[in-house]
A and B are shown apart, each in its own frame.
Chain A
Amino acid sequence: MPSRTGEEQGRITGKIIIEQLLRNLEVGQFEMGYSVLVPCIFSLYLHPEDYARLTGVFDLIREDARRALTQRLEQWNAKPLSLGRLRGSRQSKPYKPACKDWVFEFFPDAESVVPVGDVEIHSELNETPQPGYHGAKTTLMDREPGVGSITGRAGAEGAGKHANTRQSAERVYAELRYRDDSGPQLFLMTQDEIAIGRGGDDVSVNLALYTNDEVSREHLRVRRDPVQGRFSIIDKSMNGTWLNGKRLKRGVEEPLPARAQISVAEVITLEFEARP
């Protein structure tokens, strides 16, 4: 038994961590009317010694864990065997994570609760930032006062975010023409800085592209210098941004000509044109 191995040797292995992640996946299910959500954000607390020992391989554990969890979901979502169907014990609701990608964060246990060789996993269904949560353990009860504020936040932000239409009679500085999965589109830039990407629950973008996961939630930004009126561009993505055929360095601000072709992960091309 994996956990006993952990106890006997006093050392935690990647296998234990992944098995515990799978168990947490099962425990953390959240059933809805037509589907079952499973957690996709996992915070793993290790004894500080274990944490120090494993720091170098966290990325490899993440990679393995991603595979294991994806595979487990595929198993659950596979068509049940005829025997299983006879028993009628399998539910037909599809299992799905509440966000697009798995997230695994490792933390050293600062409260001396997790012994050597053990791992405590806190999982969440999706990626709402939890105040005071990351890096410090919380329990369901501790978080009760947070319920109201989180709901309030969703309501307040929901009112103002992610609309591809304008609010006031500002000047249009530039236009971006593109074609995404919703067809040809025109976006008018009226602010000095716009975020462009796929968007998402927690990621507010000004230009929300209707496209696939190749495009990051916030993929790039376009800025306008309010004094000189010059434009610049910054790539913030996993899969890259190309300016007139040349790939941009991630995180480095580059000048953006008044007319330019911006390729977003080589999936969508934005035709940028500054308005005089």
Chain B
Amino acid sequence: MGLDCKWRSGAASDRGLVRGENQDRSYVRDEDGVFLVVDGLGGHAAGEKAAETAVEVIQAELAKPDRDAPQRVRQAITQANNRIRELGDENEAWRGMACVLTLAVMDGERVVVGHVGDSRLYLVWNGAIRKLTSDHSPVGEREDCGELSEREAMAHPRRHEVFRDVGSRRRQADEEDFIEMKEFLFKPDAALLLCSDGLSDQVTSEAMNELIERYDGDPEAVARSLVEAANRAGGSDNVTAIFVAGSEFVGAASPAMSQARVRHSITRAREVAAKQSASPGALARVLRILTCRTAFLVYGFVLGVVLALAWR
């Protein structure tokens, strides 16, 4: 990636400490600005199959260039939904499989988000973290309207029930209670976090923010640290995190900023007078001019002219 990239991202996923398999999947395509977290629902292999199908279909659908970003996001999630449903109908082992997902697609200066279920998207800017997606679950709904605090919701016994999913029945792209769409400005000094509920059920948003603020240019390190934090807090579920840092996002608690904080420069008008009178700078400047590439071009040209004249 060049220096002029608008964001850098990193992802991490783990099955956690309790579950036997990892039914979470993630898909990251930095060059196109596509970030997707999927959490599979269903016993044994079914949840994994649902999550994998979602990633495959969404990846293929987003590659079709003929529509605007919000339409592509809607269409991609709907196609994934209907494909998962089809597979479930065709194969007894996959019957009833589904998933929840959060998909973010960069579109110029904006981010287009399509979201179904209880995975989450957070926006981090200026030291504050904000959850931008709603949780499509009874507990999440009560948390969003203030009936439950974040910690109460995290500890709630019905935390894992969702009332929206991708794959349990056939859907139309524009159905009202299906895809939650969101669009917002992505500032260069902002960052995004997409995660499965394995993270948000174990780690408060403040604790996530604390880890994010340690970002020091390695987005994958942040994603890994978030996954590790979820496991340290119990690891009761599969956990996946995708961290996307804008080109100017700097973690407030990063080693670079900590170093920067304790650094300062002291200058005095009179010391510059002393230095300039000794003028070592002038000599260096002349030397640099005499040895730069343009100077050698000039030498070549003069040499050529002299030789041509001598030839005559």
Contact = CB atoms under 8 A, between A and B. Distances in A.
B128 A205 contact: yes
Interface string B131-155: 1100000000000111011111000
Interface stretch (B73-81, B164-172, B203-211): B203-211
Main secondary structure of the interface of B (DSSP, over half): mixed
B126 A139 contact: no
Interface stretch (B46-54, B55-63, B99-107, B250-258): B250-258
Contacts of A166: 146, 149-150
Contact of B268 (A120, A151, A175, A188): A120
B279 to A, nearest CB: 11
B262 interface: yes
A127 B24 CA distance: 41
A162 B210 contact: no
Contacts of A1: 273, 276
A123 interface: yes
Contacts of B261: 124-126, 128, 150, 154
Contact of B269 (A34, A118, A198): A118
A143 B264 CA distance: 10
Contacts of B300: none
A158 B152 CA distance: 22
Nearest to B125: A210
B301 interface: no
B272 A123 contact: no
Nearest to A169: B149
Contact of B264 (A2, A7, A140, A210): A140
Interface in A150-172: 150-151, 154-155, 158-170, 172
Contacts of A121: 265-268
Contacts, number: 194
B185 interface: yes
Contact of A87 (B145, B263, B292): B292
Given A34-B3, A154-B252, A182-B184, A208 B270 contact: no
Contacts of A160: 206
A114 B270 CA distance: 10
A120 B213 contact: no
Contacts of B270: 3, 6-7, 115, 118
Given A146-B262, A159-B206, A169 B252 contact: no
9 interchain residue pairs of minimum CB distance: A208-B128, A28-B265, A162-B128, A3-B273, A188-B146, A125-B260, A3-B269, A163-B206, A181-B185
Given A2-B269, A118-B268, 13 more contacts: A30-B263, A33-B217, A123-B267, A126-B257, A154-B257, A162-B128, A163-B204, A165-B150, A167-B151, A167-B204, A182-B130, A188-B146, A210-B190
19 contacts: A3-B272, A20-B268, A32-B217, A86-B293, A117-B269, A120-B266, A123-B264, A140-B264, A146-B262, A154-B253, A155-B210, A162-B126, A165-B150, A166-B149, A167-B150, A188-B146, A208-B127, A210-B125, A210-B187
Interface of A: 1-4, 6-7, 12, 16, 19-20, 23-24, 27-28, 30, 32-35, 37, 39, 83, 86-89, 92-93, 96, 98, 114-115, 117-126, 128, 139-140, 143, 146-147, 150-151, 154-155, 158-170, 172, 175, 181-183, 185-186, 188, 190, 198-201, 205, 208, 210
